[in-house]
Amino acid sequence: MDFFDYLGNVPEYLRDEWRSYLDLAIDHAQIVVTAILIATVIGVGLGVLTYRRPPAAKVVLTVTGTFLTIPSFALFGLFIPIFGLGSRPAIVALVMYALLPIVRNTITGLRSVDPAVTESAVGMGLSRGQRLARIELPLAWPVVVTGIRVSTQLTVGIAAIAAIVNGPGLGGPIFQGLRATGTQRGFNLAFSGTVSVALLALLFDLLFQVIARLTTSKGLR
Amino acid sequence: MTDASRSPEPMIRLESLTKRYPGQAVPAVDGITLDIPKGEIVVLVGPSGCGKTTVLKMINRLIEPTSGRVLIGGEDVTRADADELRRHIGYVIQQIGLFPHMTVAENVGMVPKLLHWEKQRIAARVDELLELVGLDPAEYRDRYPKELSGGQRQRVGVARALGADPPVMLMDEPFGAIDPITRDRLQNEFLRIQADVRKTIVFVTHDIDEAIKMGDRIAILREQSHIAQYDTPEAILTAPADGFVEDFIGAGAALKRLNLTRVREVPLDHWPAASVHEDRARLRRLLAESEQGSLLLLDEEDRPLRWVTARDLAREREPLHRVGLPATAVVEPHATLHDALDEMVTSTVGCAIVVDRRGRYQGVVDLGTVTSAIDEMRSDVRRRDRAVAEAEAAPGDAVGEVG
Q: What is the pLDDT of residue B377?
A: 78
Q: For residue B400, what pLDDT band results from cuts at 50, 70 and 90?
A: very low
Q: For residue B1, what pLDDT band results from cuts at 50, 70 and 90?
A: very low
* Residue from A118, A120, A139, A145 whose CB has the most chain B CBs within 10 Å, to mutate: A120
Q: What is the pLDDT of residue B174?
A: 94
Average pLDDT, chain A: 93
Q: What is the pLDDT of residue B4?
A: 45
Contact between residue B293 and residue B318 where contact means Cβ atoms under 8 Å apart: no
Q: pLDDT tens-digit profile of B118-136?
A: 999 999 999 999 999 999 9
Q: Which residues of A touch B99 (CB under 8 A)?
A: 117, 120-121, 135, 139
Q: What is the pLDDT of residue B398?
A: 46
* Interior angle at CA A161, CA A157 and CA A167, nearest 5: 115
**Residue B380 above 50 pLDDT?**
yes
**Residue B280 above 80 pLDDT?**
yes
A116–B85: do the CB atoms touch at under 8 Å?
Answer: no
Q: What is the pLDDT of residue B395?
A: 57
CA B387/CA B308 separation, integer angstroms: 50
φ, ψ dihedrals at A78, nearest 5°? -60, -30
**Residue A24 above 50 pLDDT?**
yes
Average pLDDT, chain B: 88
The percent of residues above 90 in pLDDT, for chain A, comes to 75
Pairing assessment for the beta strands B351-355 and B361-366 based on DSSP bridges? antiparallel
Chain A CA closest to residue B96:
A116
**Stretch A90-103: mean pLDDT:** 95
When comparing pLDDT for B259 and B160, which is higher?
B160
A122–B62: do the CB atoms touch at under 8 Å?
Answer: yes
**Stretch B62-79: mean pLDDT:** 93
Q: What is the pLDDT of residue B272?
A: 87
**Residue A61 above 50 pLDDT?**
yes
Q: What is the pLDDT of residue B3?
A: 43
How many alpha carbons fall within 13 Å on the CB side of residue B36?
31
CA B52/CA B218 separation, integer angstroms: 12
**Stretch B12-36: mean pLDDT:** 94
- From the list B82, B91, B101, which residue is nearest A120 (CB)? B91
Q: For residue B319, what pLDDT band results from cuts at 50, 70 and 90?
A: confident
Query: Is the CB of residue A133 less than 8 Å away from at least one CB of chain B?
Result: no
Contact between residue B228 and residue B244 where contact means Cβ atoms under 8 Å apart: yes
The percent of residues above 70 in pLDDT, for chain B, comes to 96
Q: What is the pLDDT of residue B342?
A: 85
Q: pLDDT tens-digit profile of B237-247?
A: 888 899 999 99
**Stretch B212-239: mean pLDDT:** 93
Q: What is the pLDDT of residue B403?
A: 40
B144–A217: do the CB atoms touch at under 8 Å?
Answer: yes
**Residue B88 above 90 pLDDT?**
yes
Handedness of CA A197, A198, A200, A201 (dihedral sign): positive
Q: What is the pLDDT of residue A221?
A: 84
CA distance B84 to chain A (A): 6
**Residue B318 above 70 pLDDT?**
yes
Bridge partners of B72?
B12, B75
- From the list A125, A139, A219, which residue is nearest B86 (CB)? A125
CB neighbours of B132 closer than 8 A, spacing ≥ 6?
Answer: B159, B162, B193, B196, B197
CB neighbours of A108 closer than 8 A, spacing ≥ 6?
Answer: A140, A143
DSSP classification of residue B221:
E
**Residue B29 above 80 pLDDT?**
yes
The percent of residues above 90 in pLDDT, for chain B, comes to 49
State pTM to two decimals: 0.79
**Residue B333 above 50 pLDDT?**
yes
**Stretch B4-23: mean pLDDT:** 82
CA B148/CA B160 separation, integer angstroms: 15
Closest CA to B221 of B60, B42, B47, B16: B47
Alpha-carbon A154 to chain mean position: 5
**Residue A1 above 80 pLDDT?**
no
**Residue A57 above 60 pLDDT?**
yes
Domain ranges of chain A: 3-220
Q: What is the CATH number of domain A3-220?
A: 1.10.3720.10
Q: For residue A215, what pLDDT band results from cuts at 50, 70 and 90?
A: very high
Q: What is the pLDDT of residue A100?
A: 96
Q: What is the pLDDT of residue B396?
A: 52
CA distance B52 to chain A (A): 17
How many alpha carbons fall within 13 Å on the CB side of residue B147?
14
Least confident range of B34-48, B277-291, B382-396: B382-396
**Residue A88 above 50 pLDDT?**
yes
- From the list B97, B146, B160, which residue is nearest A117 (CB)? B97
Pairing assessment for the beta strands B351-355 and B168-172 based on DSSP bridges? unpaired
Q: For residue A2, what pLDDT band results from cuts at 50, 70 and 90?
A: confident
B102–A139: do the CB atoms touch at under 8 Å?
Answer: no
Q: What is the pLDDT of residue B281?
A: 84
Q: What is the pLDDT of residue B228?
A: 95
Burial of B277 from C-beta contacts in 10 A (0-12 / 13-18 / 19+): exposed
Chain B CA closest to residue A126:
B83
When comparing pLDDT for B374 and A204, which is higher?
A204
